[in-house]
Structure 1
């Protein structure tokens, strides 16, 4: 099975249907968190760092 393209009434591509094998391969490449973490890029435990950051902003008045 090859890719199936979905077009709108003006002939522009609006979507594509890909075989499951290709989707699984691409899905792993779509989001790589280490590319987007900025100053937290080197952190081994990103979840812990985010919790610590949140604690800094939670204040009890």
Structure 2
């Protein structure tokens, strides 16, 4: 991709990426946003908290 820069460690593994602001804005708009969907996740601000609460309902300690 044009304008994207990679940061490598001493072993040649990618450790970071520098993304131009225009590309970041485009990508950010494509991220998953649960409030865009219907159902139990609509309107939830903190998805991780909501998922934990749902998971806790099923833990019964058998």
TM-score by length of 2: 0.48
State the 4+ residue runs in structure 1 displaced beyond 2 angstroms: 1-4, 34-61
Q: Does the Cα contact within 8 Å between 1:3 and 1:16 map onto a contact in 2?
A: no
Q: Alignment partner of 2:17: what SS?
A: strand
Q: Which structure shows the higher helix fraction?
A: 1
What RMSD in Å do the two structures reach over aligned CA positions? 6.2
1:37 aligns to 2:27 (yes or no): no
Normalized against structure 1, the TM-score is what?
Answer: 0.49
Counterpart in the other structure of 1:11: 12
Secondary structure, counterpart of 1:55 in structure 2: helix
* Equivalent residue pairs, number: 61
C-alpha distance in structure 2 between counterparts of 1:24 and 1:42, whole Å: 23
- Mark the runs of 5 or more structure 1 residues left unpaired by the alignment: none
Question: What does the per-residue CA deviation read over 1:4-36, in whole Å, with 9 as the maximum and x for residues that have no partner?
Answer: 400011100111101100000001112221588
